[in-house]
Structure 1
Amino acid sequence: MGARDVIDVLVVDDHAVVRRGLSVYLESADGIRVVAEAANGREALERLRRLAVQRRLPQVVLMDVLMPEMDGISAIGAVVADFPDVRVVVLTSFGEIERVHAALRAGAAGYLLKDADPDEVAAAIRVAARGEVHLDPAVAGRLTRRLVGPPTGLDALTSRERTVLALVARGLSNRRIADELYISERTARTHVSHVLTKLQLSSRTQAALVAIREGLIPLPIR
């Protein structure tokens, strides 16, 4: 395969082990070369600027969503604005529809979940390099269900209820939630009840786990 056929990739993830594992795999994939790594969106933009000066700008950035300094959604928009020829593929643990929408609106050329088969990651990079969009089958299914059916899970929550869910996950009581949102304790209790009902949960602990899993609040231990 000639040099022009090789797809150069920048890998962006705040976990060093994940970055290294992805880089090692992609280096072994046919026609893909990892030119740099970055730990967050801000670092990714710095890497791209240096590579642009060296005329080694990658065709594709493989990027996580939840990262310190600058998150993936913000970084996607910045990459698309500053480097319009570079395509961004999201690789994350979070498949919440609102997050998918945000990534696609920002200009992402793909959205994969981290339980994807390694070959699918390589395939998504190749698709993005061709100027097309690749979605994880699970994500595509959720988008389809969102279009044809009533919202479920976090998508069924109002903006206020999502805020309440995040506060529940932080361990706040109804009284403290009320104080935080400048509402009555009774209203806070009603919001919590609605959240549990819509998510089909029976306890605040379950709600907290959902909030962490969906990225509404960071993991307590990194």
Structure 2
Amino acid sequence: MTSSTGVGAGASSRRRHRSPDVVRMVLVDDHAMLRQGLRSVLEREEDLTVVGEAASQAEAEAVVRAVAPDVVVLDLKLSASSDYDGLSLCAKLSAAHDGIGLLVLTTFLNDELVVRAVHAGARGYVVKDVDTTELVRAIRAISAGESAFDAHSAAALVRSMNCHTAPRERLTHREQEVLRLLAIGLSNAKIGERLFISSTTVKFHVKNILRKLGVAGRAEAVYEANKQGLI
């Protein structure tokens, strides 16, 4: 019998025979019925498939390690005994899996949580009352390396950006080039191809951009750069 968490035989079969255009997702939520409902809704789309589920942080880390999904859709609160352990999970997955798409899907919405999620590595944040069309659009955007925020969370992120001071150092010409490509959602590898430099060099430039802008993540860097008129 297949467990309610982890990877089922159906998911394994789809991985072996999937189209390269199919977005592979892991769902992380401590409510089994919500995961089942979300899976049913998302898999109506031909380009989306759920390859794993998890109810806790530990299960999520194991499943993501096993199936290497394109996108992880996760709640912020995964247990009654822990406050917003989804933030910790975001940070761990972001650090362990370079380029993974993390989309927060939660009932919690306040400015601080949106900013903390972005700092932890999330590239998107939507609340659970969004309609299916908006959620699917967000998942596709995250899979493509872009950011995806609903109207409320985007406004919260912009408000937080208004509290930041200007960068202490000017961006170099190369860093500005990298930043413009970050803004259209390109990965480090794609940026390297465009600029004829290695992905390691791109990663170095991205690190400097984040430091100079005083931010912790790529999505936040794009917002800050837009605010300052850099892109």
With the length of structure 1 as denominator, give the TM-score of the two structures: 0.61
Q: Number of paired residues?
A: 143
Shift of 1:146: 4.9
> What runs of 5+ residues in structure 2 fail to find an aligned partner?
1-17, 164-231
Shift of 1:26: 0.8
The correspondence of residues 39-188 of structure 1 with structure 2, limited to 5 A, is 39-51=55-67, 57-68=68-79, 71-146=85-160
Query: 1 CA distance for matches of 2:135 and 2:159?
Result: 24
Question: Which residue of structure 2 aligns with residue 6 of structure 1?
Answer: 22
Please point out which of 31, 43, 53 is paired with 1:15.
31
Change (3 A) 1:25 1:105: same
The one-letter amino acid paired with 1:15 is H
Shift of 1:50: 2.0
Q: Deviations over 1:18-67 (max 9, x none)?
A: 1111111111123000001100222100111222xxxxx21000000011
Query: 2 CA distance for matches of 1:115 and 1:30?
Result: 23
The one-letter amino acid paired with 2:100 is V
Q: Deviations over 1:116-154 (max 9, x none)?
A: 1111111111101111101011111233345569xxxxx
Q: Secondary structure at the match of 1:10?
A: strand
Q: Secondary structure at the match of 2:20?
A: helix
The one-letter amino acid paired with 1:75 is L
Shift of 1:85: 2.9
Query: 2 CA distance for matches of 1:79 and 1:29?
Result: 26
Question: Which residue of structure 1 aligns with residue 211 of structure 2?
Answer: none
Aligned Cα root-mean-square deviation (Å): 1.8
Query: 2 CA distance for matches of 1:35 and 1:136?
Result: 25
Change (3 A) 1:106 1:146: closer
Query: 2 CA distance for matches of 1:15 and 1:97?
Result: 25
> What runs of 5+ residues in structure 1 fail to find an aligned partner?
52-56, 150-222
The one-letter amino acid paired with 1:123 is R
The one-letter amino acid paired with 1:63 is L
